[in-house]
């Protein structure tokens, strides 16, 4: 899991409004407690209303909303795989045309790499 995906996952976990221990967050994401401490520092420095400290836990003090189309790397790979399959060459169904059109739109807005 990339750091960006992990930070996004942390925000998703914190959105429930409960206090979360770093050890529990680390276990959920498969990283060390120390990594969670660093990531929480990044989230706090970015302006998110995350409060907490080592040994106590972390909580998101105010509700936040994220744009609904922020995709993780796995979600994007799944979508691209579906679009490639649905838009396979030689198929001229409405689904295939739609899949090819959507794939082109995604390619136009995604960063390279």
Rounded CA separation 32/65 (Å): 27
Domain boundaries, the chain: 3-60, 73-109
Maximum CA extent, the chain: 59
pLDDT digits (tens, 9 = 90+) for 11-64: 989 988 899 999 999 999 999 999 999 999 999 998 889 998 778 899 988 877
Find out if CATH 1.10.10.10 is the number for domain 3-60.
Answer: yes
Report if pTM > 0.95. Answer: no
| Structural contact between residues 59 and 14, judged by C-beta atoms closer than 8 angstroms | yes
């Amino acid at each position: 899991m990339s750091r960006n995906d992990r930070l996004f996952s942390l925000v998703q976990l914190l959105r429930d409004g409960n206090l979360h221990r770093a050890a529990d967050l680390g276990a959920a994401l498969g990283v060390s407690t120390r990594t969670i401490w660093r990531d929480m520092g990044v989230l706090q420095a970015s302006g998110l209303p995350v409060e907490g400290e080592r040994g106590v836990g972390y909580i998101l003090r105010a509700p936040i909303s994220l744009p609904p189309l922020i995709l993780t790397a796995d979600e994007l790979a799944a979508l691209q795989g579906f679009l490639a399959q649905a838009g396979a060459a030689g198929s001229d169904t409405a689904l295939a045309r739609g899949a090819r059109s959507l794939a082109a739109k995604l390619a136009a807005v995604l960063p390279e790499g």
